[in-house]
Amino acid sequence: MYIKIYFNNKPLYLCNTIEGELEQLIHHDDAVFIDEFSGPAVKSMIHEMKTAKIHAGIFYHEDLDKLKKAFWKHFSIIQAGGGLVENEKHEWLLIFRRGKWDLPKGKLDDGETIEQCAVREVQEETGLQKVKLKNKITVTYHTYDEYGKHILKESHWYKMKASSKEKIVPQTTEDILEINWAKKDQLEKYLHNTYPSIAEVLKTISK
């Protein structure tokens, strides 16, 4: 089992087993592998993930919860909710924001549940109001620096239903310039210009 955290486009795997793709990744010259659990080792991995020469990281420890807590201490955690929205034509909604194809999502507000957050963000960013919440899909993690702070955003993704007949209105105040409905066989072209964490959510469609 593992938790994948993106540092820009580079994945860091926190894991309690090493198998499959991780077993192969360990042998790559541009990957760093650490299996010594300590405070300095955690700091070292975070530092390595920010260097240009490293493109992936693997940190192994038998207690994944303990490892996760050790990493989380180094970041300010932001909870966010988002939606993978399907209409009655089996088309999926994508938004174009800041030069990339994305999915509607945003930060959790005080007093709301993560499910309420996900629905609200879809409504605000797309203009769709009759949004029906379905099942939870996955959780993605990515890091960034903001005002001198190290941020780790934990995004909870939900499948949702909406109608193609309802008017869509891009939330331009959030830099959303375009909204498209795309069929499953059209998604490949969007995957070429999106974030790795968003690509992971979109790939759940084919499962």
Share of the chain above pLDDT 90, in %: 91
| Prediction pTM value | 0.92
Q: Are residues 94 and 190 in the same domain?
A: yes
Average pLDDT, the chain: 95
> Among residues 55, 72, 89, which one ends one of the domains?
72
| Contact call for residues 72 and 152 (beta carbons, < 8 A) | yes
Q: Residue 25 contacts by C-beta under 8 Å, 6 or more apart in sequence?
A: 13, 31, 56, 58
Residue 126 sits in a domain of what CATH number? 3.90.79.10
Q: Are residues 127 and 188 in the same domain?
A: yes
Q: Specify the number of domains making up the chain.
A: 2
pLDDT score, position 50: 92
Q: Burial, 20: exposed, middle or buried (Cβ in 10 Å; 0-12, 13-18, 19+)?
A: exposed
pLDDT score, position 207: 59
Share of the chain above pLDDT 70, in %: 99
Q: Are residues 124 and 33 in the same domain?
A: no
Q: Evaluate if residue 73 carries a pLDDT over 70.
A: yes
Whole domain around residue 14: which residue ranges?
Answer: 2-72
Return the biggest CA–CA distance within the chain: 55
pLDDT digits (tens, 9 = 90+) for 130-185: 999 999 999 999 999 988 889 999 999 999 999 999 999 999 999 999 999 999 99
> Among residues 72, 103, 119, which one ends one of the domains?
72
**C-alpha separations of 203 from 60, 144, 168, 180, 194 in Å:** 26, 23, 24, 17, 12
> Across residues 40-53, what is the average pLDDT?
94
Helix (H, G, I), strand (E, B) or coil at 118: helix
Q: Are residues 53 and 90 in the same domain?
A: no
pLDDT score, position 147: 87
Q: Are residues 113 and 179 in the same domain?
A: yes
Burial profile 172-197: b = 16 or more Cβ within 10 angstroms, e = fewer: eeeebeebebbeeeebeebeeebbeb
Confidence band, pLDDT 50/70/90 cuts, at residue 20: confident
CA atoms within 13 A on the CB side of 130: 8
pLDDT score, position 172: 95
Q: Are residues 27 and 86 in the same domain?
A: no
pLDDT digits (tens, 9 = 90+) for 99-141: 999 999 999 999 999 999 999 999 999 999 999 999 999 999 9
Token representation of residue 200: 């992971």
Q: How far is it, in rounded angstroms, from Cα 105 to Cα 43?
A: 29
> Among residues 72, 100, 115, which one ends one of the domains?
72
pLDDT score, position 205: 84
Helix (H, G, I), strand (E, B) or coil at 172: helix
